Structure 1
Amino acid sequence: MISIPISSQASPSKNLPTPPRTGTPTGNPTPNGGSRPEASGGCRQMKHPVTALVKTGQDFTLSEKPTLWFYIPYTTAEVHAIEFSLHNAQQTKTLYRTTIQAPATPGIIAVPTQPNTSLKIGEKYYWKLILDCQAKKEADIPDLSLDGWVQRLEMPANFAKQLQFTPAKARTQQYLDAGGWYDALTHLAKLRSQNSQDANLQQQWSQLLKSAGWDNLTDQPLIEP
């Protein structure tokens, strides 16, 4: 089979809106209370921390119901609760909130948005992922939290039609070229799950993660939902 590489240089940024700059969402895990997780009795530090698979400056999707992806280094024995929530940009309204089952082994998990929650074109949405490793706590403060943004872009003209005539392995780059980072990641992850022994897809996956700076996660397994 011919491997179709993911270009780390391909960037639709000149046609993308400027990501929101509030100074709040980071996409990186932070222990609350200003202390190290293990010092506060929370989640223990791991070699590879909890990670949101979002490329800096490309928090965009073409889908009204995107799927977000996270690397979880903990197992069901180490995490008491994981919660994901989606809010409007002003964080005045919660659109979706759900609990997530920790994986049996560390790996990359998918978090779909709720079927009756549809993102509107051009609007920004704030998401948050919190982890509690302790069953009992004195204060209602999560042990670890991540947050970030997602914005739905308008699909380019004839994009859906062009996609139909594009080989499955080439669609990842097509999504990237249109600005749909979340869609590219989801499409490639689904292909990998369906063809786990395909070395070319593994290479594409590694290239995609490396393009976002996650060289350390390329060998982490995809956990089936």
Structure 2
Amino acid sequence: MKWILTTALILSSITQYPAQVTDQNKQPVTNKQPAQPVKTPASPQEPTSRPVFILPKAPAPLSPVSGRRTGMGSRDNCPAVSIPLTALVPFQEEQKVSKQTNKPIIGTVEGLTTLERPTFWFYIPYTKDLSNSSAEFSLQDSAENDVYRNAIALPSKPSIIGISLPNTASLEIDKTYHWYLKVRCNQETASIPVYVEGDIKRINLDARVIQQLKAANEPRQKTIIYAEKGIWFDALNMLTQLRISNYNNASLQKDWQSLLQSINLDNIATMPLIKLPTP
């Protein structure tokens, strides 16, 4: 009789065990969704890089003519200025030195472009209120033939001005041109004007640079690429266009200062920008 009762208890336990396991594995049903991470609005960040001009590898002078990036001291009755007439172009000092000053007296003033009609930029400290004053910009080919020559109006206050080429003048690929900007503060005298001069050459971009420019999301990123590849006039022209259209943009102002500082022209980085109308 005892063994019958014991057997019955064992069978009862075996029958109930699967049901208990099944009940333990069941998950409670709920309509609640998993908690989502809270998204905080992204705060604006400063760009991680700024445009910095880098000279092309193994640069060779575009022409044997030495350039002048800054005008000499006061002559032709021009008033004394704290910052001289200056071309916004890279300057490479050469090794020849003056025995008296022990400083380089010859340098190369030049820049590359891919543009058919680039804009040339200059800091002009002389103003239009000077009586009998005048200024002239000229561009010549390698045979010293005039490609373009035109009188330039002096600004109302010391400024950086941009001089664009008209539709009748353009640069050909793989050719070097020489430009001048001359200022006379008194046309009644026959003395030498204050002037700057240099070279410009138009080139084609290689395929890798073209791909980098296509992948760039913003114009300022293209400015950085042009500067890193040593294509000065394209970097400068693109950045000046951005600055003129967004003059109070603090980030673009820093880009502008970075680019000019990379060619040692940070002394004019805070000067106002004026683009003259295309003739």
Question: Normalising TM by the smaller chain, what interval?
Answer: 0.7 to 0.9
Residue number among 188, 191, 213 corresponding to 1:136 in the alignment: 188
1:52-74, CA deviations, whole angstroms, 9 ceiling, x for partnerless residues?
00012551111121111000011
Are residues 1:22 and 2:75 paired? no
Q: 1:66, 1:160 → 2: CA distance?
A: 19
Secondary structure, aligned partner of 2:129: coil
Provide the residue aligned with 1:113 in structure 2: 165
How do 1:22-171 residues align onto structure 2 when only pairs under 5 Å count? 22-30=64-72, 36-37=74-75, 41-57=76-92, 59-78=111-130, 80-91=133-144, 93-137=145-189, 139=190, 141-157=191-207, 159=209, 162-166=212-216, 167-171=218-222
Provide the residue aligned with 2:34 in structure 1: none
1:117, distance to aligned residue in structure 2 (A): 1.8
Cα distance change of structure 1 residues 65 and 221 upon mapping to structure 2, 3 Å threshold: same
1:30, distance to aligned residue in structure 2 (A): 3.0
Q: 1:142, 1:186 → 2: CA distance?
A: 30
Residues matched between the structures, number = 213
Provide the residue aligned with 2:263 in structure 1: 212
Q: 2:253, 2:48 → 1: CA distance?
A: 11
Identity of aligned pairs, percent? 31
Cα distance change of structure 1 residues 7 and 66 upon mapping to structure 2, 3 Å threshold: closer
Secondary structure, aligned partner of 1:169: helix
Amino acid at match of 2:264: G
Residue number among 166, 172, 175 corresponding to 2:226 in the alignment: 175
Structure 1: give runs of 5+ residues left out of the alignment.
none
Q: 2:59, 2:115 → 1: CA distance?
A: 16
Amino acid at match of 1:170: Q
Amino acid at match of 1:131: V
Structure 2: give runs of 5+ residues left out of the alignment.
1-43, 93-109
Secondary structure, aligned partner of 2:180: strand
Contact 1:85 1:96 in 2 (8 A): yes
1:14-34, CA deviations, whole angstroms, 9 ceiling, x for partnerless residues?
1x6512352532222136xxx
- TM-score, structure 2 normalization: 0.70
Residue number among 48, 53, 56 corresponding to 1:13 in the alignment: 56
Secondary structure, aligned partner of 2:274: coil
Cα distance change of structure 1 residues 44 and 12 upon mapping to structure 2, 3 Å threshold: closer
Bigger-Rg structure (1/2): 2
Q: 2:247, 2:221 → 1: CA distance?
A: 17
1:201, distance to aligned residue in structure 2 (A): 0.3
1:6, distance to aligned residue in structure 2 (A): 2.6
Which one scores higher on RCO, CA 8 angstroms, separation ≥ 6?
1
1:99-149, CA deviations, whole angstroms, 9 ceiling, x for partnerless residues?
111111111000112322221222111111100111322x2x442111111
1:191-222, CA deviations, whole angstroms, 9 ceiling, x for partnerless residues?
01111111000000001111010121111111
After superposing on structure 2, the runs of 4+ consecutive aligned residues of structure 1 that deviate more than 4 Å are 158-162
Secondary structure, aligned partner of 1:223: strand
Contact 1:107 1:221 in 2 (8 A): yes
Contact 2:88 2:123 in 1 (8 A): yes
Q: 1:118, 1:94 → 2: CA distance?
A: 12
Cα distance change of structure 1 residues 150 and 4 upon mapping to structure 2, 3 Å threshold: farther
| Aligned-CA RMSD value | 2.2
Cα distance change of structure 1 residues 161 and 114 upon mapping to structure 2, 3 Å threshold: farther
